[in-house]
Structure 1
Amino acid sequence: MNNTLKKLINLILCLMLIPCCMVGCSGDKSADNEKLVKVYYLNSAETGLIFQDYEIKADMSETDSVISELLEQMKTQPPKLEYEAPIYGPVNLLSYSLNGGVLTLDFASTYLGTEKTTEILDRAAMVRTLTQIPEIEYVTFTVDKAPLLDDDGNIIGNMSADDFVYNAGNEINAYEKAELILYFASEDGQELIPVYRSVVYNSNILMQRLVVEQLLAGPNTDLACASLNPQAKINSVSVRDGVCYVDFDGGILTRMGDIDPKIALYSLVNTICETADVNKVQISVNGSSEGYFMEKIALSTVFERNLDVVRQ
């Protein structure tokens, strides 16, 4: 075969491959844009979301058919090993209904046995996928016709894509799992007890703010006691040059029972210093570091980790 013929064959092959590459990278350009959606899945580690572009085959005016098609996609395990379908196993969808822009998904009772991290990610995947349908503004979950509740027994209610916000300009995991070390007071209020907590959090939240929120929420064990006033409000949290600056309202100055103020303060400082890139903490109240923490400790101090008050 001469060189001219070889070049011609190669050129023809390249031209044949171009449309395939365009579809694989950015979808079929001739397709109606409103039919192109992102179907969300869990990653194989069940720590975040990933998606695949998908072209809806049903007529977009037939909303029920579109819903059914997308639900079927989320029930089907993709060929890629790193993708995990959000509707599978214990996440057994029994029925769905659409009323006034709210899509209700009803699941079998086995749904409640889903591990918490996975459950939130499953929910995020379904809500973000289904709210791309123009007629669906919100998605709500029920289990055997009863509203889905959060860990505190509150009804979760209607969810929109905005409830699972991704960082601007980046399709990254909205929710991630973290293992935290939180320091709470001992029963006599004279020592700190480390409590290990697994949480699922919005990746837009600064980690230092997350741990302070978790600390204010109190311990989830009888082995430790709340060290800070749970009614205290966080005004702001920021990190600069290894120092975490955290500002509260006046509620942070309220002493909890017999908890030693030093223990209360270092429950906060030690917890924050367990996070990456922080080794010092500056506390302020309504923007001021004047005055005293629980009338005992000058707020003007920049505090460092204190392991001497931690129970060994």
Structure 2
Amino acid sequence: MSGCGNEDVSDGKNNVKVYYLNSDETGIIFQEYVVAADMNDTEKVIDELLTQMKTMPEKLEYEAPIYGPVNLLSYSLRNDILTLDFANTYTTTKKTTEILDRAAMVRTLTQIPGVEYVTFTVEGAPLLDGNGNMIGNMAADNFVYNAGNEINAYEKAELVLYFATEDGQELVPVYRTVVYNSNILMQRLVIEQVISGPNTDLAYPTINPQTKINSVSVRDGVCYVDFDSVVNIRTNDMDPKIALYSLVNTICETADVNKVQISINGSSDVNFMEKISLGTVFERNLDIVRQ
């Protein structure tokens, strides 16, 4: 392994990043690693990277994420979901450390071809967050990572995100824990999470995943969001009202925001998904949230 890099890119097809905790357990950091196994042999690559994450690196400022109470019992791969099963001691880990351990493992393992999501269980039972909600499948973008040396700038956040019900007529809240760089505006973070989708079979995406955010700002309790035109391309014939309020309700869950102004390529003189005029400021709508 080489020293810590500062760009989140890999040069060769066998080059990956193995993520660790920093010694203060305040953030994650990575080392470049060249996988010895054939990258097409998914199970061998999984075994190799798990071994790396169980081994304390020589660098004193790095801590292995699978160590001590984080005792991995077994894993299984089905379709593109990798399930890691841990001993009961996993639940004794300090919450912030647990989130960082999880971030390191998910970001490392989802680099493997054939692994899109990672889910955690504890002696066969789904892992729950601090509110008793099942965490479910996790992708790399559950753990927002800004490359660089600001390893002390990471924070944990419990997000409430709104996605569609199966019939597309209501919204349901999805609770997600993320580790993110505190230099990111919280409102931008939650919008990115809505665009990325629910990562659960109990809710359905509302916004086209190819949508780009042009800008986000907050002033006097109003969040101003500007998207590119892809936001107007519906996902699965989504009801525009449901799609719109998945954004508005989610943004209004963040601190200091109670209204949302949406624009597309700098203009609010347009209709959202050809149906709803954006020439107004929107407030939270709980009438369409399934209780």
Using structure 2 for the length normalisation, give the TM-score: 0.57
User: Mind listing any 5+ residue stretches in structure 2 that lack a counterpart?
Assistant: 1-20, 29-56, 72-83, 91-97, 119-139
The one of the two structures with greater contact order (alpha-carbon pairs below 8 A, sep at least 6) is 2
Residue 101 of structure 2 is aligned to residue 118 of structure 1: yes
Q: In the alignment, which residue of structure 2 is the partner of 1:263? A: 242
Q: What whole-Å deviation, never above 9, does each CA across 1:73-124 have from its counterpart, x for those lacking one? A: 348xxxxxxxx887843789xxxxxxxxxxxxxxxxxx99685522546999
Name which of 156, 161, 174 aligns with 1:177: 156
Instruction: Return the offset for 1:199.
Output: 1.2
1:198 corresponds in structure 2 to: 177
Counterpart check, 1:152 vs 2:116: yes
Judging changes above 3 Å, is the alpha-carbon distance between structure 1 residues 281 and 151 closer, same or farther for their aligned structure 2 residues? farther
Deviations 1:258-305 (A, max 9, x none): 321111100000000000111010000011111100111111110000
Question: Where do residues 175-254 of structure 1 align in structure 2 (5 Å cutoff)?
Answer: 175-254=154-233
Partner SS for 2:255: coil
Question: Which residue is equivalent to 1:67?
Answer: none
Letter in 2 for 1:300: G
One-letter amino acid matched to 2:58 = L
Question: Could you say if the C-alpha distance between residues 122 and 219 of structure 1 is closer, same or farther in structure 2, counting changes exceeding 3 Å?
Answer: closer
SS at match of 1:163: coil
Residue by residue over 1:5-24, the C-alpha shift from the partner in whole angstroms, topping out at 9 and shown as x without a partner, is: xxxxxxxxxxxxxxxxxxxx
Match of 2:255 in 1: 276
**Following the alignment from structure 1 to structure 2, what is the Cα–Cα distance between the partners of residues 149 and 275?**
35
Q: State the alpha-carbon separation in 2 of the partners of residues 294 and 254 from structure 1.
A: 7
Paired letter, 1:299: L
2:18 maps to what in 1? Answer: none
> Quick one: structure 1 residues 253 and 72, their matched pair in 2 at CA, closer, same or farther if it must change by over 3 Å?
closer
* Aligned residue in 1 for 2:77: none
Secondary structure of 1:307's counterpart equals coil
Sort the Cα spacing of 1:122 and 1:164 in 2 relative to 1 into closer, same or farther, 3 A.
Answer: farther
Determine the structure 1 residue equivalent to 2:147: 163
TM-score, length basis structure 1 = 0.54
Partner SS for 1:246: strand
**1:96-135 → structure 2 map (5 Å cutoff):** 115=98, 117-120=100-103
Which of 276, 298, 302 is residue 281 of structure 2 equivalent to? 302
Looking at structure 2, the residues matched to 86 and 191 of structure 1 have their Cα atoms a distance apart, in angstroms, of: 39
Matched residues, number: 202
> Structure 1's 73 and 311: CA in aligned 2 closer, same or farther, altered over 3 A?
same
Cα 1:151–1:204 shift into 2, 3 Å: farther
Q: CA contact under 8 A between 2:27 and 2:100: conserved in structure 1?
A: no
Q: 2:58 aligns to what?
A: 71
Cα contact 2:66–2:101 (8 A) shared by 1: no
Q: Distance in 2 between matches of 1:191 and 1:151?
A: 31
What letter corresponds to residue 41 of structure 1 in structure 2? S
In angstroms, what is the RMSD of aligned CA positions? 4.1
CA distance in 1, matches of 2:157, 2:170: 25
Q: CA deviation at 1:233?
A: 0.7
Q: Name the CA distance, whole Å, in 1 between partners of 2:187 and 2:65.
A: 30
Following superposition, the deviation at residue 151 of structure 1 comes to 6.8
